[in-house]
Structure 1
């Protein structure tokens, strides 16, 4: 953890922050925020991707965040654990066709422990926070909800479970709309609710995760959306679009299929009423003149190193501080 800098670029020691986060792209910014804030950061993670596979509870976004923040992530693949081996999958292939979702030998251990603890009656948030502690993670990593929220992809051929669409079908079927089953009745985890209620809360960041697949399942939980809408501190979103393209994943493809332009204005409109500022990449700086409805800040949002992650996190914190100075 980096201590508060003498020039005040990181707010005082009691200020806390929330990051709403999905998988790979969001976890990079979360890692940068953790480097600056340590335990003053709560990362609220999407659970819409969660599913049961081979009798195991798999939570891809939670696991990506856990691996990234603990330094165990595989930088080459962008997902899973580093130094992974695949003996389990090779053996599985001899007996089953269910090899479309890759589970590394080290990764399986996490899923086994989670499944065993849930069967014993422990809540997902309790399990996740304990795992984060055991992995030496400073930030509080909490699922958006302990309840079942499942993303379903509606396309011409019917309704696909998210992982069937995302992994098995590699996002090929054009999306008509998304459904977040269970979200309407879901409640935030106590830790997420407490983070929003904390007197020390100084800002909220929506990470550059896919707005439709990673952030919307969080915001589909009525209480969480209300907490963000009723915020008393600045909230900023970091655009996942650079020069009309997604850095990684199907964000731009989905936007085209939903007839949404791949621009900062579209991202701002997507989060209308929920943010006080939008961060865009320096390549899109010329678009700052667009009417996004909120202040716009340009920064280097492509994070290819740990230094990039910390730099963007610092820029986000500074942006929130400046916005806070204008709030009544």
Structure 2
């Protein structure tokens, strides 16, 4: 089975690990591709930083810091301290020494003229990930946050330095109108037997992927069912500050609201199926008039078992909506 996941960040990394775990336990041949959000990327100290990609890379390689939730395990920060003394790195954005090795390699390859897709391939070849990572686009589409009464700032400054406390009125990806989906991303969607939208931030992780010109069209044209997994449980975000992002675009923090935001593919939206937590079971009937087939299952990914079960539930819903479509 060809499984393609779309998303970014820690929630996506945990979910993809669950998909990989389920695939390994099933004993069947699976190909897993992940189309990764690149709009969180930015330049620091002359280096290209890619937080969403690196969260996935390190987690799948088993070298991530599970306590902080980002970066490499068993890190030191001597270089970051030196960069701050020199005034070339902001004190609120600390990078570990091992992590900096990744950024230096990435930047060196980019300056040699390699595409972001090729850089992904080279970085991923170091470990046996069991998964292939693809950038949503090879273009730079850094997200900037529109601030009430002030100039826009880069998403990372708003997110990390200000902890999303500055009143945002919207989000914009720079030069995204001139971007195109990375070839590997389009191929992963076209060959998929199922497409899964990870429980990632719907505004700044999944949203920029869909905003790349041609990406939404590719999903609408895909023969595979598209199933999403809510990152909202009982009206609260599982991790991060997605609630602030949702509020900035006028959405409440609920699994039902995010499902409506993505919309049903039958009416020009994104999804064929939508998984919500058992605590949000009321959303199943509420979303039916919108054309969404929703199902309530346990969404908490506490360990390998629960993560693998969630992946299995997502694939089961995909199979059911595909059967229903064939019946009609």
Q: TM-score, normalised by structure 2?
A: 0.91
- The 2-side partners of 1:43 and 1:306 are apart by 19
Partner residue in 1 for 2:308: 310
Partner residue in 2 for 1:121: 113
Range moving further from structure 2, 268-277 or 247-256: 247-256
CA RMSD of aligned residues (A): 1.4
Say whether residues 1:26 and 2:24 are aligned partners. no
The answer (yes or no) to whether the contact 1:34–1:138 under 8 Å persists in 2 is: yes
Q: TM-score, normalised by structure 1?
A: 0.91
* Structure 2 counterpart SS, 1:290: helix
Say whether residues 1:196 and 2:189 are aligned partners. yes
* Structure 2 counterpart SS, 1:327: helix
| Aligned mate of 1:103, from 91, 95, 100 | 95
The answer (yes or no) to whether the contact 1:21–1:30 under 8 Å persists in 2 is: no
The answer for unaligned runs of 5 or more in structure 2 is 25-29, 264-268
Partner residue in 2 for 1:230: 221
Partner residue in 1 for 2:132: 140
* Structure 2 counterpart SS, 1:194: helix
1:232-277 deviation line (CA, Å, top 9, x unaligned): 2110111111111001111112223433122222111111121001
1:183-236 deviation line (CA, Å, top 9, x unaligned): 2221111111111222xx211011010000101110001211111122221101
The answer (yes or no) to whether the contact 1:70–1:136 under 8 Å persists in 2 is: yes
The answer (yes or no) to whether the contact 2:64–2:73 under 8 Å persists in 1 is: yes
| Aligned mate of 1:243, from 223, 234, 240 | 234
Range moving further from structure 2, 309-318 or 33-42: 33-42
The answer for unaligned runs of 5 or more in structure 1 is 1-14
- The 1-side partners of 2:298 and 2:122 are apart by 34
Say whether residues 1:46 and 2:37 are aligned partners. yes
Residues 189 and 259 of structure 1: CA distance in aligned 2, closer, same or farther (over 3 Å): closer
| Aligned mate of 2:323, from 309, 322, 325 | 325
The answer (yes or no) to whether the contact 1:202–1:233 under 8 Å persists in 2 is: yes
Range moving further from structure 2, 254-263 or 125-134: 254-263
1:154-188 deviation line (CA, Å, top 9, x unaligned): 01122111111111111111221111122222111
* Structure 2 counterpart SS, 1:19: strand
| Aligned mate of 1:63, from 50, 54, 62 | 54
The total of aligned residue pairs comes to 312
- The 1-side partners of 2:246 and 2:84 are apart by 36
> What is the Cα deviation at residue 291 of structure 1?
2.6
The answer (yes or no) to whether the contact 1:57–1:111 under 8 Å persists in 2 is: yes
- The 2-side partners of 1:196 and 1:305 are apart by 28
The answer (yes or no) to whether the contact 1:244–1:252 under 8 Å persists in 2 is: no
Say whether residues 1:170 and 2:163 are aligned partners. yes
- The 2-side partners of 1:82 and 1:275 are apart by 36
1:7-27 deviation line (CA, Å, top 9, x unaligned): xxxxxxxx2011001101111
